[in-house]
Chain A
Amino acid sequence: DTGVSQNPRHKITKRGQNVTFRCDPISEHNRLYWYRQTLGQGPEFLTYFQNEAQLEKSRLLSDRFSAERPKGSFSTLEIQRTEQGDSAMYLCASSLERGMGPQHFGDGTRLSIL
């Protein structure tokens, strides 16, 4: 059973550019989550999907952020017109819906804005 896979591991970009991250969840997990973690802080919830439906979005998810999960498998998180404050680790997690299964996290994508 492979774990949650995220790529790229690192992304360096200039302010104002668009970036897209990908997350492949554990295959049998129907829930997929995105979190953001800045240095010295705990992860903060951004959004989650149950199958292909995006069920909840945090206020942290400004209109520059969009997430998709076509066909209920992998997910992408896009940030448009990146800003310095977007620099963070972006974490993806997946879980089973049944029994409030624990969320299992990927290694994350570290975004650095120049």
Chain B
Amino acid sequence: AQKVTQAQTEISVVEKEDVTLDCVYETRDTTYYLFWYKQPPSGELVFLIRRNSFDEQNEISGRYSWNFQKSTSSFNFTITASQVVDSAVYFCALSEKTSGSRLTFGEGTQLTVNP
């Protein structure tokens, strides 16, 4: 069975600090996909990134970076020089090839960036 754990329920930082959101996953499949979504106070889930299980290369997009490590079953997300607009709930999610297209989400991390 697939499972995603986001151990950090809430994180509060001051603007311009770097912050890392942790995600640990469980799966028996060798082919799977990992995702991060952002849910601002307005409520809409915004897609940020997708990685497949065969591509462990880390990725950077502006102030966002992702560290995928199969050895520790982790897919962590770092925001560099955080801004108030980064305040949101962030969800990590997993999709296994053998279980169709369903996404299994973690419980989310509420990030608050204070000015």
- Does B41 have its Cβ within 8 Å of any Cβ on chain A? no
B 35-64 to A, binary, CB cutoff 8 A, 1 in contact else 0: 101000011111100101000000000000
Indicate the size class of the contact surface on chain A: 20 to 34
A28 to chain B, nearest CB (A): 16
| Inter-subunit contact B105/A43 (CB<8 Å) | yes
Are A31 and B101 also in contact (CB < 8 A) when A42-B108, A100-B95 are? Answer: yes
Stretch at the interface among A14-22, A62-70, A71-79, A102-110: A102-110
A100 adjacent to B45 (CB under 8 Å): no
| B43 proximity list for chain A (CB < 8 A) | 89, 107-108
Sample of 20 more A-B contacts, CB < 8 Å, known A41-B107, A42-B108, A45-B104: A31-B101, A33-B103, A35-B103, A41-B108, A42-B93, A42-B105, A43-B45, A43-B91, A56-B100, A58-B102, A89-B43, A93-B45, A100-B33, A100-B50, A100-B52, A100-B97, A102-B47, A106-B44, A107-B44, A108-B43
Could you tell me which A residues sit within 8 Å of B by CB distance?
Answer: 31, 33, 35, 40-45, 48, 55-56, 58, 89, 91, 93, 95, 100, 102-108
